Amino acid sequence: MDRFLEGKTALVTGASRGLGRAIAEDLAALGALVAINYASNDDAARETLAAIESKGGKAFLIKNAQGSYEAAEELTAALDRELMARTGNTALDILVNNAGGGPVANIDATTPELFEQIFSDNLRGPFYVTKLLKSRLRAGGRVIFVSSLGARTALPDYVVYAISKRAVETFTVVMAKELGPNNITVNCISPGLIASDANADIRADEGTRTYLEQSTPLRRLGVPSDLSGVVVSLVSPNMGYVTGQIIEVTGGMSL
């Protein structure tokens, strides 16, 4: 594989497991120095780092749970220290706002605390990280957000989650307009059901799994490389004229 990211730096939030790990591994395989941000799972983070280094990649860990301005400040300070020590400057080339999630509930079951938690996980985190790091992005940089097919399918049991992810999509378009004059592209990936720890219970039910597989024209569920492959495409030199887009990775489930 062409190491076209040699000399580039990248931050992937929520990168110790699942989709974030796949993204971090792919970026490192292409030559980028990758900051692996994670919230709490030290063992998983170390495994991700070891997997990258075993293949000759370069990465480092930043343990910091996102969701507030203060957390974003701490992440920024840690990133600056690590990049300065490794590269001699604090410039960033790729920002992947992957961290998010949270419990789901309908409107009646949504408490004020749950509402705040979901918005912190899915909107406040990427908003503040982007706010603080956008000045460090070099010309030709890439910003990628992660939304969800749930933002557009209007499922009642996902009401706050869907609203928060739809806000991320709007934020993507706004930032594309702001950062475009600096030759920085901003796009958003909207995945469907991609296999991960978070949906293992859904995939374990044979009836549900079969129904979901038959709901896609490709007749299968997604795997992490389906999503990380789109990230690789978006950060390639050939994708410098694509910005402000919401790109579905759903196997056609929404068709």
Catalytic residues: 161
Tell me how far apart the alpha carbons of residues 76 and 74 are, in angstroms, rounded to a whole number.
5
**C-beta separation of 94 from 11 below 8 A:** yes
Cα separation, 140 vs 191, in Å, equals 25
15 HSE (CA, 13 A, CB side): 30
* Lateral strand order in the sheet of 33-38: 58-63, 33-38, 9-12, 92-97, 137-146, 185-191, 246-249
Q: Which two tokens stand for residue 249?
A: 């990775």
What would you report as the CA-atom Rg of the chain, rounded to the nearest whole angstrom? 18
For residue 73, give Cα distances in angstroms to 127, 152, 238: 12, 31, 33
Identify any residues that bridge with 38 across adjacent strands, giving them in sequence order: 63
Concatenated DSSP letters of 201-236: HHHHSHHHHHHHHHTSTT-S-B-HHHHHHHHHHHHS
**Secondary-structure breakdown of the chain: helix, strand, coil percentages, each rounded to the nearest 5:** 50, 20, 30
